[in-house]
Structures are given as structure tokens and as C-alpha cells.
Amino acid sequence: MDLLRPEIQPYAWGSHTAIAELQGRPAPTREPEAELWMGAHPSAPSGLDRDGAATTLDAVIAKDPERELGEAVAREFGGRLPFLLKVLAAGKALSIQVHPSRAQAEIGYRAETEHGVPGKRRNYVDDWPKPELLCALTRFEALAGFRQPGDAAAVLRGLGVERLFPVADALADTGNLKGALAAILEWPADDRDELITEVAERLRNVGSPYAQVAADHPGDIGLVAALLLNYRVLEPGEAVFMPAGGLHAYLRGTGIELLANSDNVLRAGLTGKHIDVPELLKITDQEAEVPLVIGRPVNASVRAYDTPVPEFALYTVEPTEAGTGLPGEGPRLVLCSEGSAILRRPTETVKVARGESVFVPASDGQVTAAGHGKLFVAAPGDLSY
């Protein structure tokens, strides 16, 4: 078992307090801290010490994939750890985005590589899917999945912005949410600023939670696109699962995010980064459901967050003093979010305190956790999916 040195991503939408306070560092921080990455993604692998030397988790796994991942996981995922565990701390709205399926990612990555598409213009930075699960640590606001077409049309018309009436009427007649999204994202440049200004003013006047999106990203057409999405509030312990094709955006709060080991993102607004509307529409599935996931009790100490993907499974553990078996099989990442715990196997003991994380290789087998606190455990999912 290895204590990890996670990587912090200082994206502009991050929090100045949440990650620092979790790790016991002074807060507020000078720069925003958006994500704490625990895993082996090549762009920001976690550091660790192995055999007396500093190294990274991706290097350790590459040296002996079967020992670290187990034979089945190494074979299924090409010798890569299939998941990435994050603490996500949103101080303001993230981009509206969607993620591809495995087949879409493989095709898109291959095509962009063959055509030499440069990095900042790429939609596909790797050939993996990126389903994800977000479990709230604090009250967490999100836009998650499309509204029903009739509801979305009523919202657009209800604003009283006449420019949007044709979009609302077409949506009510056809139910084509992707068509409405395209109409908004491709709004004529000479009228765009006026539309955004009028929508933002109406939202402020009615006290809509979407008004904060306007404040976070002034002048961004994504504000209007956001009205097509469901506004959801998660209480601590509640989660949402984002499948391939599900359009979403995170707005405010701190949560645990578990996702396939990918960084493929196609954006629809609330960003200064590259937006490829035709490719976005090809990937977006207006029927994709973004379900609320409630932890299922496994026993008195363990809850499982069930998701229909092979790349990952998420559990929470509130260990007893006598010890609780660590759930999951194969390689696992363990994050302590409250208190502290002792992880034990027959030949080794590791203490993990609040804000600390541990990699448990598959070769370690059964591990128990003892103490008073709360652990998040990431493991491979059901490989039969």
C-alpha cells in the first residue's frame, strides 16, 4: 500500500478553501484549487515512494501491471488503471460538457491523430470513454441532463425574450432538444450579445439560480443553452451518474468525482476553450438519463454507489474500531474525507488521515480498515458490462 501525493489542478473555476481545508493547509489559497487528482492519468499522475525512491503511480503500474492491477483488470484495460478519483471543488460554474462512449472516443481520437489536429483544437485527447459519478461532500448544485422538451420550451418562452420564441415553438412542436441546442450555440454573432444581456436580466429579475451562471460567465451563449438542462441540488451523500452523451455542468460545491481514466471533454459553453458544435451534437444524446444515485447499504459500515460501467465502482466506508473489510476487488484508491483510519493486511499497516489517500495494489488482497472516520474507496467495476 502506498500513500499518494495527489496533484492539484488550479483551474480558474476552483475554490480557494475547499481542497486546502480538506488537506489541513492554510486557507484561503492565493490561487483557486479546482481538482485534486488521485490516480495514474498520464497528464497528472499521483506521486508516491516505492522501494525508497520517489516515483509516480503510472510508472509503478507500467512496470508490473498484473501485480498492481490484477490479471483480469490488466488484460481488460490494456495495463492501465481504469479509473481516476478526484475531489472537485467548484467555486463557480464549470463548462457545459458531454463525454463520448468508448467507440466514439476510439474513432474520434484515431481520426484527429491521423489528421494532425493540434492539442487546443482537439475534441479527443485519448481513446477512452469518460463516464463519471459525482458524490456530494457539501450541498452541490449541478445542471444534469436535458429537461423534457415541453418543459424546456416553456422555460424559454416563459422568460419573455421574444428572440427565443421561435426556438421555443420549434422545440414544443418537434421535441428536438439537440436542434434547440444547435440554434442557440449558432446564434447570429450580430445579435448574440443582445440576446445574452436580455436573458441574464430576466433571470436576475426572477431570482433564478441560473442567474449565477450569468455572473460567472458574462457574455457567454452557454447561459442560454443552460436553460435546456435540469437544475439539480445534491445533498451530502447523494450522487449523480453522468453516462456517455449526457450533457451537464457543475455549478457550486465540493464533491468526490470518480470517472474513467480519460480527459475527453466536448464543450457546449461557459468556457473560453474550443467548442466544436457539429461534433458536440454528434456525441450528445438527448435521451441520456442522468440518474440520482443513493448509496446502497452493503453492511453496517459500507455503502455502494451502483453504476453500469466496467471502469469503476465507488464505495463509502465508516470503519469500526475492530476493523471493516475494504470493499471492492483488484486495485483500489482510498481517500479519507473525515477522521482517520488504519489500513491493515497481514504484513503491512498504513495510517490514512483526513485529506490523505492510498493506492492498494491488487496483489495486496484483503485489506481491513479500522478507526473513526469516513473513507471513499474506488475500485474496478463489474467487467461483465
Q: How many domains does the chain have?
A: 3
pLDDT of res. 68:
98
Residues assigned a catalytic role: 267
**11 and 113 belong to one structural domain:** yes
Closest by Cα among 137, 307, 336 to 237: 137
Question: Which of 227, 257, 292 is the last residue in one of the domains?
Answer: 227
Q: Quick check: is 363 in a domain? A: yes
User: Tell me: the pLDDT tens digits for 1-26?
Assistant: 999 999 999 999 999 999 999 999 99
Q: At 367, which CATH number?
A: 2.60.120.10
Q: Quick check: is 276 in a domain? A: no
pLDDT of res. 121:
86
AA letter at 202: R
User: Tell me: the pLDDT tens digits for 74-91?
Assistant: 999 999 999 999 999 999
Q: Quick check: is 275 in a domain? A: no
300: exposed, middle or buried (Cβ count in 10 Å: 0-12, 13-18, 19+): exposed
pLDDT of res. 289:
87
Q: What is the mean pLDDT of residues 343-371?
A: 96
* pLDDT-based confidence at residue 385 (cuts at 50, 70, 90): confident
**49 and 34 belong to one structural domain:** yes
pLDDT of res. 119:
80
Question: Which of 202, 227, 252 is the last residue in one of the domains?
Answer: 227
Q: Quick check: is 46 in a domain? A: yes
Asked if 333 and 359 count as a contact pair (C-beta separation under 8 A), the reply is yes
Q: Quick check: is 282 in a domain? A: no
Q: Quick check: is 296 in a domain? A: no
**12 and 42 belong to one structural domain:** yes
**256 and 360 belong to one structural domain:** no
Nearest 5 degrees, angle CA 41-CA 43-CA 48?
65
**23 and 60 belong to one structural domain:** yes
**196 and 247 belong to one structural domain:** no
User: Tell me: the pLDDT tens digits for 189-245?
Assistant: 999 999 999 999 999 999 999 999 999 999 999 999 999 999 999 999 999 999 999
**116 and 210 belong to one structural domain:** no
**92 and 157 belong to one structural domain:** no
Q: Which domain holds residue 30?
A: 7-69+81-143+233-269
Q: Assign 38 to helix, strand or coil.
A: strand
User: Tell me: the pLDDT tens digits for 134-145?
Assistant: 999 999 999 999
Average per-residue pLDDT for the chain: 95
User: Tell me: the pLDDT tens digits for 321-331?
Assistant: 999 999 999 99
Q: Quick check: is 291 in a domain? A: no
All three cell numbers of 221: 451563449
The structure's pTM equals 0.94
Q: What is the mean pLDDT of residues 353-372?
A: 96
**126 and 251 belong to one structural domain:** yes
**158 and 15 belong to one structural domain:** no
**Strand partners of residue 266:** 98
pLDDT of res. 383:
87
pLDDT of res. 245:
95
**317 and 196 belong to one structural domain:** no
Q: Quick check: is 18 in a domain? A: yes
Asked if 53 and 8 count as a contact pair (C-beta separation under 8 A), the reply is no
Nearest 5 degrees, angle CA 126-CA 229-CA 105?
15
**189 and 90 belong to one structural domain:** no
* pLDDT-based confidence at residue 168 (cuts at 50, 70, 90): very high
For residue 285, is pLDDT > 80?
yes
Q: State what percent of residues in the chain have pLDDT above 70.
A: 100
